[in-house]
Chains A and B, each alone.
Chain A
């Protein structure tokens, strides 16, 4: 296990990252542009947009194929945004509480930065269609290493299952490409924290999806989300 900055591609890759840097190696840009091959004006438009503002956002800016699909896509993006807000607030709070050290702190700091980047990407993509930032209360979950570990495992496995459940319902291929690019990162997070929690990083050869109602039921049972009517500029941490 390396220390902070010990690995060649250490956490500095993500800490302090700006939104425009979200796809620095251009992988998503290429993928998205590739999806529109054969439609040169669209591809050209996308490539131009990608250069300016980050691939994820450009992907989100692509129109859904049909009006009905677009409405559903926005609903799915907002659902994903809620889960990302939940995770981002959780990691941010545990970081503030300074209850972690060593490998666990490195995981929380790194993953927290990534989840916050996901939030920013979804917010920018959705613009005024984005839901308001909820209030959260994590209680004891952010107040000690054991509780943190347990909750983080649950959150990350839940996020993987949630993205997996929504991916086939997304109409826009550009949105889908972006969701998939995040889905597998959540799976990396899940495996990482599971190993730190002494669990097998990969429980079996297939990961199963969860429907949106199933995910919402699980989240509701945590009582972590206090409201969805915040008007403040930033999150209010009540835990």
Chain B
């Protein structure tokens, strides 16, 4: 079974041994300073760690939704395809970070994966969050890291477009996409309540 808990087993054992209440905050503690300062390899790593939190969150969400089995038709196809992409993104970033990569947090998606409607609205929310966080952080990356991250960013945008079209929303309603700061992204993730 591709359980979410299984993916985060290292983190989970840490959490059980420590202060569970603070775990959500600990998982988010890897996020970079809000202000983008001079580009450096060190800052690249900080940004990649925060990107990894987002990718782990998305990856776990789709895995959990597939486990729950409430999806069918094109929404199921979407979840299957995008689950693989988010897993590939997380693996890619984890490899890039090497030993400094944080373990995946554990997540609880509650009822959001129980119906196609709540799955779709949550997926749109998480994809929007990921894209705007990437767009906000990317200008702080060195050229090489930016080139690599950009290979992921447009795939996230394609995901949003796809699922918006499936549920009858205009896929690209604005001429520019939002960019949010790390601080805003962190607050948005905490607000989901998904990080245990």
Residues of A with Cβ closer than 8 Å to B?
1-2, 6-11, 13-14, 17, 22-23, 25, 27-28, 30-31, 34-35, 37-38, 55-56, 110-111, 114, 117-118, 121, 160, 164, 167-169, 173, 176-178, 180-192, 195, 200-202, 204-209
Contact = CB atoms under 8 A, between A and B. Distances in A.
21 contacts: A27-B180, A31-B135, A31-B181, A34-B36, A34-B136, A55-B176, A56-B176, A160-B154, A164-B150, A169-B143, A180-B153, A183-B154, A184-B157, A185-B157, A185-B176, A190-B161, A191-B159, A192-B171, A201-B165, A202-B82, A205-B88
B170 A180 contact: no
A200 B165 CA distance: 13
A38 B173 contact: no
B155 to A, nearest CB: 6
Contacts, number: 196
A13 B173 contact: yes
Interface of B: 34-37, 81-82, 84-85, 88-89, 92, 131-132, 135-136, 138-140, 143-144, 146-147, 150-162, 165, 168-181
Contact of A34 (B35, B146, B147, B161): B35
B148 to A, nearest CB: 9
- The binding surface of chain B is classed by DSSP as helix
A195 B165 contact: yes
A30 to B, nearest CB: 7
B76 to A, nearest CB: 14
A62 to B, nearest CB: 12
- The binding surface of chain A is classed by DSSP as helix
A81 to B, nearest CB: 14
